[in-house]
Amino acid sequence: MDDLNVQIMRELQEDGRRSYREISERLGVAPGTIRSRVLQLLEEGIISVIGVPDAWRLGYRFHATIGLRCDPGTAEQIADQLAERQEVGWVGLVANGFDVLFEMTLAEARSFGMYKEDVLAKLPGVRSIECFPIWDVRKFHYRLLPPVDVVQNGDERWMRGGR
């Protein structure tokens, strides 16, 4: 990961629709170079350029993070099953009081009661379920760059491995 790739990532994180030509003008590099670098970053799975819908504006009324405590040896299988579900936005295996955390969106809060019984309670190995409803999101973005040893901006030290 060189400096040009990091600069390209910054540009795309600011606006994922930014054209290769616009990025090339902003960075002073040929458009073909930008194109090949972006394609390489995409191919290697380092970045993804996606559209993220706003659940509330689409009419969904229930958004929550769910914590699951699982029987030993079942968390990975449960996480994989949840990852296949349409209503689940992300799934993580965690090292705290829960074994699996995930985010989900449903049409309305009442739907969660049925979902809890019809889906979550039937996952083999789930011992307990805790729901953290989200009624508003104040910040939602992914601005993550590769860790480095030295960071110029003191505000980013903790994010990028500086001291």
* CATH number of the domain residue 22 falls in: 1.10.10.10
Residue 155's pLDDT band, with cuts at 50, 70 and 90, is low
Predicted confidence band at 51 (pLDDT cuts at 50, 70, 90)? confident
pLDDT computed for residue 28 by the predictor: 96
N residues, the chain: 163
Q: Contact 64/134 with Cβ under 8 angstroms?
A: yes
CA angle 108, 113, 114 (to 5 degrees): 95
- Same domain for 70 and 43: no
Structural domain boundaries, residue 32: 3-50
Please tell me the predicted confidence (pLDDT) of residue 53.
82
* pLDDT score for 156: 54
Provide the angle, in degrees to the nearest 10, between the axes of the packed helices 20-27 and 31-43. 110
Q: Is the distance from CB of 127 to CB of 69 less than 8 angstroms? A: yes
Q: Above 90 in pLDDT, residue 151?
A: no
Instruction: Name the β-bridge partners of 100.
Output: 68, 93
Same domain, 79 and 115: yes
Per-residue pLDDT averaged across 55-72, rounded? 93
